[in-house]
Amino acid sequence: MSRAVAHALEKQRLQFASAEQREHLTRYGAGIAPLFEAADRVQDGARWVQRHPEVTVGVLALIAAVRPRVRQFLWRWSKRGFVVWKLWRNSARWLEQNSPSSRTP
């Protein structure tokens, strides 16, 4: 048997094995497919909110105007979020300044 024929047979054997593995994954992965679909929908929703922040802010403002307890809740969490954002920003700057790559020998 020539070397080319042996390589062709090995390639074909690997292709059959790959097809069998794909079928196996498809069969056993069908149970968790709804989880991936839900995650995809959440990700699509997050992208939409990123593209349309004015709608999100408008809805939150409307809810805050109608419900006083929601207003208090939003105010409290926005203050916390601002503090976390500032800490994140300052720590990123500090890490950037103190990283070994920023030091000149």
DSSP 101: G
Measure the CA–CA gap between 64 and 46, rounded to whole angstroms: 21
What is the per-residue pLDDT across 38-61, written as a single tens digit (0 to 9) for each? Answer: 999 999 999 999 999 999 889 988
Please state the domain extents for the chain.
67-105
Predicted TM-score of the model (pTM): 0.45
Q: What is the mean pLDDT of the chain?
A: 89
Please, which residues have CB within 8 angstroms of residue 71's CB and are 6 or more apart in sequence? Answer: 64, 65
Q: How confident is the model at residue 68 (pLDDT cuts 50, 70, 90)?
A: confident
Q: How confident is the model at residue 86 (pLDDT cuts 50, 70, 90)?
A: very high
